[in-house]
């Protein structure tokens, strides 16, 4: 087996960075938890928002499947769409308020990742 530095067989630096960024969205390096009070509050916000974001994505994915399957009325699509839009916008505001990036809200889903 090639040594660890030679595992990259194809890919320009720019694309590697792009792929790395996307991989970090679904997984991040374990970070040391900060015991600082402010950080603990932020850590809690991070945990809550991560779960909310996961639910939002799962529900959106579910809605898309139902649209594809033809089991939602036009009115339902409109209402759902507005609700998801509003939720996504609110998530953005909360992330900014807590200075959280997309990478901070990733969830190591493992086998659950197939649901996403």
Nearest to 28 by CA among 100, 116, 115, 114: 100
Task: Please identify, using beta-carbon distances, which residue of 80 and 95 lies nearer to other proteins.
Answer: 80
Q: Name the residues that contact other proteins, by CB under 8 A.
A: 1-2, 4-13, 15-27, 29-31, 33, 43, 46-47, 50-51, 60, 62-69, 71, 74, 77-85, 107-116
Minimum CB–partner distance for residue 96 and other proteins (Å): 18
Minimum CB–partner distance for residue 3 and other proteins (Å): 10
Minimum CB–partner distance for residue 49 and other proteins (Å): 9
Q: How long is the chain?
A: 116
Residue 86 CB-density burial (10 A; 0-12 exposed, 13-18 middle, 19+ buried): exposed
């Amino acid at each position: 087996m090639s040594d660890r530095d030679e595992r990259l067989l194809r890919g320009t630096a720019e694309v590697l960075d792009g792929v790395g960024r996307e991989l970090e969205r679904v997984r991040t390096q374990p970070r040391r938890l900060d015991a600082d009070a402010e950080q603990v509050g932020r850590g809690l916000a991070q945990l809550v928002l991560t779960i909310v974001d996961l639910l939002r994505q799962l529900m959106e994915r579910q809605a898309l499947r139902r649209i594809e399957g033809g089991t939602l009325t036009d009115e339902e699509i409109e209402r759902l769409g507005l609700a998801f839009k509003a939720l996504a916008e609110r998530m953005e505001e909360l992330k900014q308020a807590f200075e959280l990036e997309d990478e901070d809200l990733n969830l190591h889903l493992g086998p659950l990742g197939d649901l996403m």
